[in-house]
Amino acid sequence: MINTSTYSVPGYKDPRHDVVLAMMAWVENGTAPNDIVATVWKNLTTADDVIRQRPICHYPLQAKYTGKGDPNEPDNWTCESLY
């Protein structure tokens, strides 16, 4: 059993950044995720410096940069249709 204090992404304890917590919210509360934020670390061993983050969108959507702000910040991206 996994409890609500469990997280799999260092420094992030929310369903938007942690796929385990997103799945728990979906199964337990019916709250399906719109996107999950992927994180790239400077050092994978220590996972203390984030290089960039981007949303992973559900098909048929894809992440597109808004053209404003830092492209390494996930809030500057949107999930838009491929077609």
Residue 57, in any domain of the structure: yes
| Total domains in the fold of the chain | 1
pLDDT at residue 2, rounded to an integer? 54
Query: What digits encode the pLDDT tens for the residues 20-73?
Result: 899 999 999 999 998 899 999 888 777 788 999 999 998 999 999 999 999 999
**23: burial class by Cβ within 10 Å (0-12, 13-18, 19+)?**
middle
Rounded distance, CA 43 to CA 56, Å? Answer: 21
Q: Is 26 within a domain?
A: yes
The whole-number pLDDT of residue 6 equals 54
Pairs from 28-36 (Cβ < 8 Å, separation ≥ 24): 33/58, 34/58, 34/79, 35/63, 35/79
Q: Which domain holds residue 34?
A: 19-81
Report the 10 Å Cβ neighbour count for 64: 14
For residue 6, is it within any domain? no
Does the pLDDT at position 7 exceed 50? yes
